[in-house]
Amino acid sequence: MAGASLGITYKNERGRLEEILQPIILKVDMAVKNKFQLVYLFQYALMAILMTQIVPFLTQQGYDAVQRGWFLASYSVTTMIFQIFIGYYSDRSKEIKKVSMVVSVLFVCFAITFYLLGKDIWLIHLIVLAIAGGLSNTGATVLDNWVLSESEMRNNLAAIKAIGSLGWSVMSVCIPLFIFNKNYHWLIVPFLFFLISYLYIAKTVPQTPHDKKEPKEQKNEEFNLSDMYQLCKNGEFLCYTLLFFLLYLTIVANNTIVIDKLLLMDSGNTFVGLKWAIQAFCEIPAYLLLNHSVTKWKNERLIFLSGFFLVLQFLIYATSRTPLVLLAASFLQFFTVPAFTIGSRMIISEITPKNIFSSGQLLSISVYMGLSSFISPLLGGVLAQQLSVNHALYFFSLLPIFAFICYYFYNM
């Protein structure tokens, strides 16, 4: 009887202690979340300084359309390579925070170098952009892995990425303020400012804040190549990667073949910047909304939602005759990219073993994001040349439907 009463007393005291500590834990979680949001704000601002100015800078340097195409395709290849090797190293070292910081430093070094070089050494210029672009895409993915590896932050990924989209959109608008007399060398100033800010905040973010939910045995697991091999043979992993690949082909086409159609319209070139701004700003409220509903929605539903609106969006693109209708369809970005990004990342994180978490994530992403980023522009260009731009858009509108048919037959 005495032992039973002591047990009851212990449980009561433990319950009271948890009630007392809960507000403190929530405050710590909020502090960590805010730091992650600042990290994303600075990281995405850094990425915008390069990624939104590649085509204007190359055009100013005198590169023609074909040459610019090679530059844009180059970092799709390096993205695939970097994501596989950096994912492998992250799992081996168990230091994803340090990896993220090093990748950002290297990215800024190569991005600055890209703006300092010119057409007279085009091959070196191409290699530098390939490395910078690959590090940019990989750095964003490593950041997502860092958040997903923290159990207390995992459900806040959408809210954190919303601030990243804010950093991208605001910086995209502000970049012309730093380009005096078309001199891109002045971009070194925001590069260094945001890099220093990023490193300062990232250094203060704990890698595993009070993560008591993970079992100790799981923390001691080591990276094993045999587990990686088994993951590559996993039918569910392969099915979802194929599904995401087909969907992302259409997402990439939104920034390539759709732009081509806009440029063919009367005064279409004046609306290109507005289209980018609409898409970026639409993502911010979408990510914030997903942050409140991500635990209520199944991740598969987010993917289906994204696919449905991708089909609708591209059908409008294909039938549009004026820039305003095409721009109106761009507002559907609210339902497409954010839902796809959160749904795909959460699904892959759920089916990937903990000890190969970064490698599994980056392997899948290198295929469905990196490979599709390389294939989609080439495929769209061939279809537009052999048929028409509208036929190419109709083709991309059918890819999500084909993807879901494949997924349906797999589940049967």
List, for residues 250-259, the tens digit of each pLDDT value. 998 887 788 7
Which is higher by pLDDT, 144 or 11?
A: 144
**Average pLDDT in the chain:** 80
Global pTM exceeds 0.75: no
CB 244 within 8 A of CB 140: no
**Is residue 215 in a domain?**
no
Q: Are residues 176 and 260 in the same domain?
A: no
Q: Are residues 270 and 350 in the same domain?
A: yes
Q: Which residue range forms the structural domain that includes residue 289?
A: 222-412
Q: Are residues 237 and 201 in the same domain?
A: no
What is the percent of the chain with per-residue pLDDT over 90, rounded to a whole number? 22
List, for residues 270-324, the tens digit of each pLDDT value. 777 678 778 878 888 888 787 666 556 677 888 999 999 999 999 999 998 888 8
Q: Are residues 188 and 226 in the same domain?
A: no
Q: Which long-range contacts (CB under 8 A, 24 or more apart) does 301-305 make?
A: 301/343, 302/339, 302/340, 302/342, 302/343, 303/243, 303/244, 303/247, 303/339, 303/340, 303/343, 303/344, 303/347, 304/404, 305/335, 305/339
What was the pLDDT predicted at 208?
62
Which is higher by pLDDT, 31 or 190?
A: 190
Q: Are residues 138 and 237 in the same domain?
A: no
**Is residue 116 in a domain?**
yes
Out of 206, 234, 262, pick the residue that ends a domain.
206
**Is residue 328 in a domain?**
yes
Domains: count for the chain: 2
Q: Are residues 379 and 249 in the same domain?
A: yes
Q: Is the pLDDT of residue 25 over 60?
A: no
Taking residues 390-400, what's their average pLDDT? 93
Q: Are residues 190 and 253 in the same domain?
A: no
Min mean pLDDT across 129-133, 146-150, 358-362 is at 358-362
Taking residues 23-45, what's their average pLDDT? 75
Out of 206, 234, 268, pick the residue that ends a domain.
206
**Can you give the chain as a three-state secondary structure string?**
CHHHHHHHHHHHHHHHHHHHHHHHHHHHHHHHHHHHHHHHHHHHHHHHHHHCCHHHHHHHHCCCHHHHHHHHHHHHHHHHHHHHHHHHHHHHHCCHHHHHHHHHHHHHHHHHHHHHCCHHHHHHHHHHHHHHHHHHHHHHHHHHHHHHCCCCCHHHHHHHHHHHHHHHHHHHHHHHHHCECCEHHHHHHHHHHHHHHHHHHHHHCCCCCCCCCCCHHHHCCCCCHHHHHHHHHCHHHHHHHHHHHHHHHHHHHCCCHHHHHHHHCCCHHHHHHHHHHHHHHHHHHHHHHHHHHCCCCCHHHHHHHHHHHHHHHHHHHHHCCCHHHHHHHHHHHHCCHHHHHHHHHHHHHHHCCHHHHHHHHHHHHHHHHHHHHHHHHHHHHHHHHHCCHHHHHHHHHHHHHHHHHHHHHHHC
Chain-centroid distance, C-alpha 164:
10
Q: Are residues 152 and 16 in the same domain?
A: yes
Tell me how crowded residue 210 is: count the other CB atoms within 10 A of its CB. 15
**Is residue 212 in a domain?**
no
* CA-wise closest residue to 390 among 266, 271, 247, 261: 261
What was the pLDDT predicted at 229?
66
Q: Is the pLDDT of residue 197 over 90?
A: yes
List, for residues 299-312, the tens digit of each pLDDT value. 788 899 999 999 99
What was the pLDDT predicted at 108?
94
Q: Are residues 189 and 276 in the same domain?
A: no
List, for residues 234-246, the tens digit of each pLDDT value. 778 888 888 999 9
Which is higher by pLDDT, 126 or 24?
A: 126
Q: Are residues 150 and 36 in the same domain?
A: yes
List, for residues 82-126, the tens digit of each pLDDT value. 887 887 777 777 788 888 899 999 999 999 999 998 888 888 999
What was the pLDDT predicted at 385?
79
CATH code for the domain in which residue 125 is found: 1.20.1250.20
Tokens of 294: 């991500």
Q: Is the pLDDT of residue 185 over 60?
A: yes
* pLDDT band per the 50, 70, 90 thresholds, residue 222: low
**Is residue 216 in a domain?**
no
**Is residue 30 in a domain?**
yes
* pLDDT band per the 50, 70, 90 thresholds, residue 45: very high
List, for residues 358-377, the tens digit of each pLDDT value. 667 777 777 888 788 888 87
Q: Are residues 25 and 172 in the same domain?
A: yes
Q: Is the pLDDT of residue 201 over 80?
A: yes
**Is residue 128 in a domain?**
yes
What was the pLDDT predicted at 59?
76
What was the pLDDT predicted at 210?
40
* pLDDT band per the 50, 70, 90 thresholds, residue 228: low
Taking residues 7-22, what's their average pLDDT? 51
**Is residue 259 in a domain?**
yes
Q: Are residues 200 and 241 in the same domain?
A: no
Taking residues 25-32, what's their average pLDDT? 58
Out of 174, 206, 238, pick the residue that ends a domain.
206
Taking residues 135-153, what's their average pLDDT? 82
